[in-house]
Each structure stands twice: as structure tokens, then as C-alpha cells.
Structure 1
Amino acid sequence: MKGRLLGDRYEIVEKIGGGGMALVYKAKCKLLNRYVAIKVLRTEFINNEEFINKFRRESQAAASLSHPNIVNIYDVGVEGDIYYIVMEYVKGKTLKELIREKGRLSYEETIDIAIQIARALSHAHKNHIVHRDIKPHNILVSDDGRIKVTDFGIAKAATTSTVTNTSNVIGSVHYFSPEQARGGYTNEKSDIYSLGIVMYEMVTGRVPFEGDSPISVAIKHIQEDIVTPRQFVKTIPESLEKIILKCVEKDQSLRYDSAEELLKDLEKAKELKDGSYVEINNYDDSPTRVIPAIKDDMLMNKKNNNKNKKDKKNKSNKVITISAILLALVLTSALAVGFLHIKDYLFVKEVEVPLIVGLHEDVAKQKIESLGLRFVVKKRVYSKDYKEGYIISQDVDPEDKVKVGYPIEVVVSKGEKLVKVPDLLNKYSSDIEVALSRVGLEQGKIVHQFSDIYPEGIIISQEPEPLSMVPEGTKVNFVISQGPKINYVIMPNLIGLNLENAKKEIISNGFVLGEVKYELNNDVPKNLVTWQSYPAGAEVEENTTIDLIVSSGPSTENADGQNDSNLTENNNKKKEEQAAQSEQNSVQEQEKVLQLIIPLPQDREKVEVKIYKIQGQSKEIIYNKVHETKEERISVTISGKGEVKYEIYYDGEFYEQKDINF
């Protein structure tokens, strides 16, 4: 996806995250010249109408919200088989990452973060939107400390029919409410429960319920009491503990009535630590009622009146009663005989469907068939959440009643999908992305190192090993050759040295003496160096050959007794002609000037940028300056002729090489 342009506007820069339903990329908006985050539906779901509807629902739900603590939605679109949502780019980390880094958060940090999340939920609830998946992974913490709630992928308008699909419970099992676990009615109080679990994790560094499988954790949310936070961290104030425990009441009626009500207590908790203001509701199942006292004379009068009425009716009723009994016996006998013949056709026994998600296939089958129902495996699919042979979903909700003999269709896990790691050793690094994407693996960490054996760009090693079997989606790390390490040495000044000392300087600095020419020179004494092939102060590669011109002294008479002045004059003329020709050539081959545009890294606030110019065996630094990364890019003026290489370094680390042909 890197470099791809979506909607003729958003250029993908890099992948920055992903979840079970979508991948998230950082992109540059060419129209507004700003960075955005783009959520792209995973390719395996583009033909799944259910996931596409969820994806669209996220954009519709979140786009209706505008709040400083909610990630803004800018745009939505479809391009071919790519469904995407354009969102606000938040530079920072998730709350889950922050908790992992610190172990647990302080009381003050927890209160501050919880207040911002509660404000976001209050705004969403006022717009009749229930998030239904509040968890630290969906809370972004920007570099300046602002909290942003994101991922409204399973949010839904709050109505009287807001019920979670029990055959495939939506939400993250460690954070969702008991009513979500049961597949029951969810409302704004379900978000408050999840926020309570998030606060619990922030102050203790752990979630309240753990289990071997998602279903075991869900059952604990329904049945087990939470261990109070102060049993793990004694320094937690009573006020915060009471707020958390009120949020995570299993009975929805005992929780906070609204996020606004929760906000008021959180604001008080910043100053008051005793928690006396947190109201805990305890309702009796049977309310007390006031009824009038019943007296003895009322009972006696009523008894006498009833007796007189019965005496009058007894005589006339006896005849009717006897006749009715006889007739009833006849009719009952006839109906009983007929019912025995047709009851099997009129009535079929109904049984309650049990919860079998999370059970092994054999156990589930036995449980279903023992009730007189049929166990049908609809399909088997790969799953990261369920081991091989365990039930992922059932088509009839638990506690629903069906007739005996009804088929219960299930989806069974095939376990994690294992794929073979491709062998990329001795291949070019440019092959990595294509090779991994073919088998469903991802690129991990890339390390560059010098090598005298492997050419630049060749893969030296990889982890996991080639041809090993690993779960789909595993990251593969690589070590890539930078070629042999090149050492550069500062060229010493050899001008004015005698030949012997110049040789010593060349050899001691790791260079090789090349061609030595002698030329007549009236200004420089004999055997002194007048020219060197690389200028003093230049960075020159080690083992480079250095040529010299040495003075042969002033001119003398030749063998015929003639003065060398004529020869010198001729030589001077030749030199003048050569100089003129050289000047003409230089005019024709003047250095060209270009602007080199360099993007700045966005993972830090400041960066030192160094640029080296490499031409032939010469390497010199042409730029060294510290920039603030909010500039996003810089323009550097470069000049040269012919083919020139430029190496760019960020804070001393190699970034890239640009080959410029002037």
C-alpha cells in the first residue's frame, strides 16, 4: 500500500496499526497538506456484507460526533475493492501501550484520563450513540497528553432494540459488560461498565478477570465478583475505588445513570479522597406497601353471608351437578381416546438451547444430542482465538427454545493457520514485501550491517528460519548487508614536502603511492611536491592511489649547449593553450545547481541532518544542521556535474542515498 494514492488525494506513507477488521495507515492529504490516518477494511472481508456494514456504520456513527476527545472523521470512500475511512491523525500511542510501559498509572493520571474518556462518552450518548467497545486499545494518548476515543466500528444507535448478537458476541471480552456477555440489551450503561474496567486496569496494571478462553472470561463477568483494586494497590484512594466499583456493578440499575453523573464524581475525586459522596444504590426486590388492618367482625359477617347464600343454592344445584358429572365422564372418555391417537401430531416438545461456544466439538455434540437436537458442523475455519476442534459460533442463540430434532449449526475452529516462511537468504531486500504478502506474513524489524562477503542489499539472515511453519500474520525480521565497510581518511597536505616525506605521509595514512611525475619549476626547489591528486582536507577512501608531481628544479642548458629557455617558452605556450582549452571546456561543463527535497522523520521533535557528497573516490560533508520536524521537509541546494551520490543521515543514522546525474 505504501505510495498508493486513494481518491486522487491521500498518499499512503506507512502502516501504523491494525485490528481484526481493518488496517490503519498514515497518509498525506495532498489537498490540505496535512497528515491523516486511513482505516482500510482487510481484504479478507471485502466480500462479507456483515463486515462492510459494520465498516460503514463506524463512519456514519463517528461522523455525526464532533468533540475534542473523539477522533474526527474527515472522509469515506471506496476505490475498487478498497473500503476506507479518513480520520484525524493522532501522533502518540494507545492507552494500552502506555499501561504496558509504566506497569500501572498513578491516581492522578487515571482520574485525568478517565475524565476525558467520560466527556467523549457523554457527547456520544447525548447523540444516541453507544460505543460498545471501550478498551485501552481504542483510546489514543497524544504526545501533548490529550485523550482521543476512536474505533466506533461496532457502535450503534441507542434504541430499545439495542441487543448484542449472542451467536457472535461483539466487543472485547476483558472489557465488555455482563449484558454483552449474555447477548442481552445494551445501552449507555454498558459503556460505563467498560470504562470502569479500563480505570481498574489503569490503577492496578491488570484486568479483573482472566481465563483460558474468551468464553471463560465472559462467564466471570456474569458470575464472579471483582477483587477490589485496593487489594492489589493499597495506595488507591477510597473515592476512586468506590467510583470503579459503582461503574462495574453487574446490575445495570446500580451503575451510574449517565456519563455526566460519573463525570461529577470524577471531578470531585481530584480533591476529595474519602469517597463519601459516591452514592451506592441498593434496591429491595419487593417494595413496602401500606394496607388496611383486617378485623375479626369483618371476617364473621362475611362468613355468615356466604353460608345463607349457599343453603339456598344447594338443593337446586345437586341435580344439575349430578347430570354434569355424568356428561363430563362420557365426553372425557371420548376425548382421551382421541387424544392418545393424535397427540404426537399436535404437540412436539421444546427444549432450551445451551451455550456451546468455547466447548470442544465432542463435548458440544454430546450436550446437543442429549437434548434430542441435531449437531451439524456448518464449516471449519482458521482462528487465532480458539484452539483446533473448539466451537467458534452457533446459529441458535443460547436460551432460545426449539423443537426436538431441530439442527444446531456450528462453526468449528481449525486452530491458527500455519504458513511456511519463504527462504529469502541471499536474495535482494526488494523481494521481501512481495514474498511475505503471498503467504500472509508481515515484515518485522530490518537491521543493516556491513559485510565483506555479501553485496549491498542482499539478505544475510532472517528470523523465523526459512521453511519453518509459523502462524499467519507472524512478523519476519531480517538482517541486510550494507556491503563492505568503507573507511574515509582526511587527506594530509603534501605540498612542499620532499618526495621521501610525502611517501611516508601517504603510507602512514593508509593510502597507496601512485604515479610520480617530475616537472621543471623555477619557483619550487628540486624534489619538493608541487601537486597531489586529492586536495588536502578532503575525505578520501582508504587504500586510494595518490599521484604526485615533484619539482625537477629550474631549467638548465641542454646537452648541445643551448639554453632551455626556448624549451621553457614552448612549454609555457603549450600550457597557455591547454589552459585556454580547459577554460573553454569548463564553460561548456559548468556545474549545475539543483534543489534536493528531503522529508523529515515524524517520530521525534528535532533531528540533525547530515548530507555527504560522494564523487569518484572523494567524500565531503556539504550540509550539517538541526531542524524541528514540524517543518516536515527541507530544501537543500546542491551543485555538481556528471554523476554524483548524496548520502543522507538522520541523527547519525543512515537514511538513504540519492544518485543525481547533473
Structure 2
Amino acid sequence: MIGKILGGRYEIVEKVGGGGMALVYKAKCNLLNRYVAVKILRSEFTSDKDIIEKFKRESQAAASLSHPNIVNLYDVGEEDDIYYIVMEYVKGKTLKEVIKEKGILTLHEIINYTKQIASALQHAHYNHVVHRDIKPHNILVTEDNRAKVTDFGIAIAATSSTITNMGSVIGSVHYFSPEQARGGYTDEKSDLYSLGIVMYEMATGKVPFEGESPIAVALKHIQQEPVPPSEIIPEISKSLEEIILKLMQKDQASRYQNTQSLIENLGKLKEDVVSSEMTMMINHEDSPTQIIPRIKEEDIETPKAPLPKNKKGNNKLMIAAAVAAALIAALLFMFGLFYVSNLNFFRTEDVQVPSLVGKDILEAREMASQLGLELSERSINSTEVPKNEIINQETDAGMKVKKGYPIRVVVSAGPDMAQVPDLRFKEAANAPLMLRNEGLSEGRVTENFSEFPIGVVIEQNPRAGSSVPAGSTVDYVISKGPQVVTFPMPNVVGNTRESAEATLRQLQLQIGAITEAPSNEHAEGRVIFQSIPPETPIAQNAVVNLTISTGPEVIDEPEDVTPPEDETPETPEEDQSASATLSTQNVRIQLPGHSGIVEIAIKRVSDGEEVYKRKHDLDKDGHTVVVPLTGYAKQEFELFVNAQKHKNNIVLR
């Protein structure tokens, strides 16, 4: 494939990776002069029409996704039984490689990567696209630690096709959900299960289920509970473990029902110093996307109920335990009653909950403190509510509560911020993509003249590097190239040469060739011809040629030509005496103001007969044309130049 050009523009440069469904190549787009990633469907799948059709359809659907944490899809194509998609080329590592290098990730890293992946899935799910193959191998981590989810199109197409048509499933067995293993209905919560396993691996360096075969691993997804991460890494954050185990529930209804709930819980986690210092290196074999048979119900083992032992003895034991529990409960109740009575609990004053929505968090804290209440705060990003303003309170205003009661409030953290990319001096065609990659969109796009090439961005607002709310628009100006100013050509005919040249220089026009020619109309030294006619629209630096008069035209004396002896000249019947002599004379015709090829015709006035007609190249032969004319003395001829009659006739002498 190296060196092959797909679609007439994507030149394959090198192979950069591959999986169970496709091979990935780095390619250069010769049209936009940039590098892209080209993913090519493996040849073993190109014979299945259903897979190919779904591949095309779902790849195009995935290409409609636009999110900073999703690898952009640019194009989909087919050529010589090669089915390919063209994607954004991301320079960096896969999350799998990051895990292999670090062994175990810090709590901060786990939260950071998970929130970005969840944000990408939230966008995809909103657009009714389910990934179905979430795994560290399909998460690209850029050099600035941005996570980008890839492999949308092929995973969707292959999975849906093989489930319905072949009784098999395609996916990464270590990461897919129990419903995928059964070949059943998959939805957004299936992606969340896989994300839970990715978090498990980031936190422990291991996947939760291993086996001798893909079938064995798939059965464990269905039947077995995972080993809690804290049994592998005792220092792990308890809250993080709870999130991971909730994501990995076998029952879809027991998991997070959407990515928003997951993102909110991640926001509550705090940095765990102990977990950030863990550096244990653990190796793990890659988990490729592959085809495995669908797990049937008969393959799933049903746990057997334990056999009852010594029923009578068990009953006595249960009665004794119940009596002991009742005594302990009574003692605890009496102790608690005594304790709270000493604290005057029942005499504590009731407090009315104030309305805190719309107030600044500092003001709300002061109000709560004066009333003897506490605030339980959590923050979320908001583009509608200003930063530090309370969006919502879970305890309704006006309720009566005891002092010290915690009032739960949601505080705006302001909009999620994005950094404005530098669009200046970049091709305008690439600007929308650059903005989308940062979570921004294009605003007002205008054009203006500049010294820069046409189609280049010359201005932008906001400026590059500034921080703005995600989803903001960026205005930019595109160059129309240098502005061409035109003005009417002045008339310099009749001016002196010096005056004409001064006029042309003042208008920043270039003086071209200057020639000379006789003129009966203009005195010597005056302009008789300009190459650009007056009033013609011209721009600066245009070249103007001039012709200068040498004075009145001088017609040379004709040369007598004696006719050959064997030829008897014809004597006209009228207007000529018998004694008149027929002669041939060379007549010089001056043609100032003409250039290029001209047609010269000469007619005898007495009878209108055309005695000469020929074309002359003045640029080659000069502006003086010599024409031989035969006639009697004082005979008159008319001169035509390009079918236009000259004002002066020719008279033979």
C-alpha cells in the first residue's frame, strides 16, 4: 500500500497501526497539503456485502460527529475493493501505551482521561451513535494530554452486522459488556460498561477478567463479579472504586443511565496523594477487536443453591441471635436517647431555609452561617449562569430545619473554557476544522484586500491563545489579495514629449518604447500617438508607448522607370494626351500611429480601378511602406489603410 494514492489525493506514506477490523496508515493529502490517517478495512471483510454497506453508512454517520475529544472523520471512499475512511492524524500515544508505560495512573490522570472520554461518548450518544468498542487501544492521547476517541464507524458496522447475520460478535473481549457477549441489545450503557473496564485497568494495571480463550473471558463478563480494585491496590480511592464497580454492573439498569451522571460524580472526586505516587509496572497482552461466537443461554452456568444442614440446630441459632440483637438495639436506643437529651436536641430552634438561588456563593455562605446552617456545595460548568452563582438548591426555600442542617447547593463554575487557536496566515479552508478541534465554531467571516495571498486568514477575533467559553464563535478575515486601483488613461497626444512623460510618471505609469514619425498635424517634438487610448481604465505600472512627431511628411521624388522595349504601354483613351509618358514610381507611405499588420490598398481616381492591395507587418518592416505605382504624370490615386480612406491622395509627377 505504501506509495498508493487513494481518491486521487491521499498518498499512503507508512503503516502506523492496525486492529482486528482494519489497518491504519499515515497518508498525505495532496489537495490540502496535510497529513491524515487512513483506515482501510481488512481484506477478509470486503466480501461481506452487509458489512460493507453498514461500514459506509455508519462511517458517514460517525463523520457527522464534531467534538474536541473525538477524532474527526474527513472522508469515506472505495477504490479497487479497498474500503477506507480518512481521519484526523493525531500525534501521540494510545491510552494502552500510556498504561503500559506507567503501570498505574494517578487519581488525577484517571479522572482527567475518563471525563474526556465520557464527554466524547455523551456527544456521540446525543447523536444516536453507540461506539461498542471502547478500549484503551481506541483512545488516543495527544502530547498535551488530550484524549480523543477513535474507531467509531467500523466498530458499529461490524458489530451490528455480525450479531444479526452470523450469530457472532465482533469486539474486544476483555472490554465488552455482558449484553454484547450474549449478542443481545446494546445501547449507550454498553459503552459505559466498557469505560468502567478502562478505568479499572487505569487504576490497577490489569483488566478484570482473563481466560484461556475469548469464550472463557466472555463467560466471565456474564457470570462473575470482578475482583474489587481495592483488593489489588489497597490505596485506591474508595469513591473511585464505587464509580468503577457501578459502571461494571451486569444489569444495564443498575449502571449509570447516562454519561452526565458519571461526569458529575467524577467532579466530586478529589486528588488522592497516595494513589498518585503508585508506580507499579504491570504488563498486559493487547486485546484486539475480534470475532467470537455469541454466548448462548445454555453455556451460562446457573449457581446451585446450598443444601440445608441441621434445620433444627439452625432454628435455635437464629432465635438466639435475634434475642441478642434485640437487647443490643434496646441498649443503643437508651444510650442515644440519653445522649441527645443532654445535648438539648429536642430544644434546638427550627430555622427557615433561605432562598439561595441566584446569590453569590460567598453571600450564601454568610447567610447560612448567620442562621446556623451549613452549605454542602458542588460545582458544575454553565454557560448561562455566571461563575460562583448558585444555580439550584436541593432543600427548598421556606422549609423548617434544625440548626446545623446541611443545605445542598449547586454552584456555577462558569463555562467550560477553550483556547483560541492561531488562524492567522493559515488557509481559510482549514479554519472551521481548527476551531472545531478546540470546541469552538466560526462566527462572522469577511474578506478584505491585503498584501497576503488570496484565501489566507489575515485577522481574527478573539486573538490567538486567549481563553474563551467552549462553544464560542471566532470571527476572522480572509485576504482577497492586493487591491487593484484603476483610473482613466489621460490624453497626452499633442503634448510635448517632456510634458507627456511627466504626466505618465505622476500617475506611476511606465514609459515604454518611444518612436518617431512625420506628422502633418503636429509640430516636431509633439506626441502624435499613445499605445493606450484615452479614457481606457488602467492600473498603476501599466506600460505606455509613445510616438513623437518629426515634422511634416516628406514625399520623395519618384524614380523614373523606363518600361521594357518589348512592352507597349497602354494609353488611356481619355484624359491623357498622346505625348504623355507612362512611368513607374516608388511612393513612400508613412503610417504613424499604426502597429502590427495593416492592409494597404490603392485605387486610381479616374476609373476606380484597384491597382495595389497587400498586407504589411509594420512591427517587422517599420512604419514606412514603399509602394511601386505605374501611371502617367499628374495621375491621382486614392490611399486606403485597413479599408479606411486616407485624407491625402497620391499624385504621380
Q: Which has the larger radius of gyration?
A: 2
Q: What range describes the TM-score normalised by the shorter chain of this pair?
A: 0.3 to 0.5
TM-score, normalisation: structure 2: 0.41
TM-score, normalisation: structure 1: 0.40
